[in-house]
Structure 1
Amino acid sequence: MASFNLINKNKLMKIIPKRNPNSHKGQNGKVLVIGGSKEYFGSPALVGLASLRSGSDLCYLLVPRFIAPVIAGYSPDLIVWSYPGDYLNNKIFSILPEIEKKVDCLVIGNGLTKKPRIQHLIREIISSWQKPVIIDADAIMPDLKFKSKEVIFTPHVVEFERLCGCKPSNNISVRAKQVEHFAGLMEATILLKGVIDVVSDGTNTFTNNTGNAGMTVGGTGDTLAGICATFLSQGLKPVEAAAAAAFVNGAAGDSAFVKFCYSLIASDLINELPFVLKTLQNEV
Structure 2
Amino acid sequence: MLNLAQPKPSSHKGENGKLLIFGGGKTYHGAPLLAAIAASQFVDLVYFSSIKENMRIARKMKEGMLEVIVIERKEAERKLKEFDCILFGCGIDESKENGELLRVILKTKARCVLDATAFSLLSNPLLLHENVILTPHEREFERLFGMKASRENAERMARKYGCTILLKGKIDVIAGGKGKIKLNRTGNAGMTKGGTGDVLAGVCASFFCKNSAFTSACAAAFLNGKAGNLLYKKKGNTYTAGELARRLGEVYFDLIS
Contact kept in structure 1, 2:125 and 2:161, CA below 8 Å: no
Between stretches 65-74 and 236-245, larger displacement belongs to 65-74
1:68 aligns with 2:47: no
Contact kept in structure 2, 1:131 and 1:148, CA below 8 Å: no
Residue equivalent to 1:5: none
Q: Pick the aligned partner of 1:212 from 180, 183, 188.
A: 188
Contact kept in structure 1, 2:227 and 2:244, CA below 8 Å: yes
Residue equivalent to 1:194: 169
Residue equivalent to 2:207: 231
Q: Aligned in 2, Cα 1:281/1:123: closer, same or farther, shift over 3 Å?
A: closer
Which residue identity does 2:50 align to in structure 1?
Answer: V
Which residue identity does 2:136 align to in structure 1?
Answer: P
Within 5 Å, give how 1:123-134 maps onto structure 2. Answer: 123-134=102-113
Contact kept in structure 1, 2:22 and 2:87, CA below 8 Å: yes
Which residue identity does 1:108 align to in structure 2?
Answer: F
Residue equivalent to 2:125: 144
Partner SS state of residue 166, structure 1 = coil
Partner SS state of residue 53, structure 2 = coil
Q: Aligned in 2, Cα 1:198/1:147: closer, same or farther, shift over 3 Å?
A: closer
Contact kept in structure 2, 1:35 and 1:63, CA below 8 Å: yes
Residue equivalent to 1:260: 235
Q: Unaligned stretches of 5+ in structure 1?
A: 1-11, 84-91, 169-174
Q: How many residues align?
A: 251
Contact kept in structure 2, 1:126 and 1:146, CA below 8 Å: no
User: Cα deviations across residues 109-155 of structure 1 (Å, max 9, x unaligned)?
Assistant: 1111334x256324433343331011111001452343754111100
Within 5 Å, give how 1:36-51 maps onto structure 2. Answer: 36-51=24-39
Identity %: 35
1:79 aligns with 2:66: no
Within 5 Å, give how 1:266-281 maps onto structure 2. Answer: 266-281=241-256
Instruction: Measure, in 1, the Cα distance between the counterparts of 2:84 and 2:106.
Output: 17
Instruction: Measure, in 1, the Cα distance between the counterparts of 2:168 and 2:200.
Output: 10
Residue equivalent to 2:44: 57
Report deviation, 1:274: 1.7
Residue equivalent to 2:14: 26
Instruction: Measure, in 2, the Cα distance between the counterparts of 1:227 and 1:247.
Output: 11
RMSD: 1.7
Residue equivalent to 1:99: 79
Contact kept in structure 2, 1:122 and 1:139, CA below 8 Å: no
Instruction: Measure, in 2, the Cα distance between the counterparts of 1:145 and 1:20.
Output: 37
Q: Unaligned stretches of 5+ in structure 2?
A: none
Report deviation, 1:23: 0.8
Q: Pick the aligned partner of 1:166 from 136, 147, 167.
A: 147
User: Cα deviations across residues 243-282 of structure 1 (Å, max 9, x unaligned)?
Assistant: 1100011111112222321111111111211221111012
Q: Normalising by structure 2, what TM-score?
A: 0.91
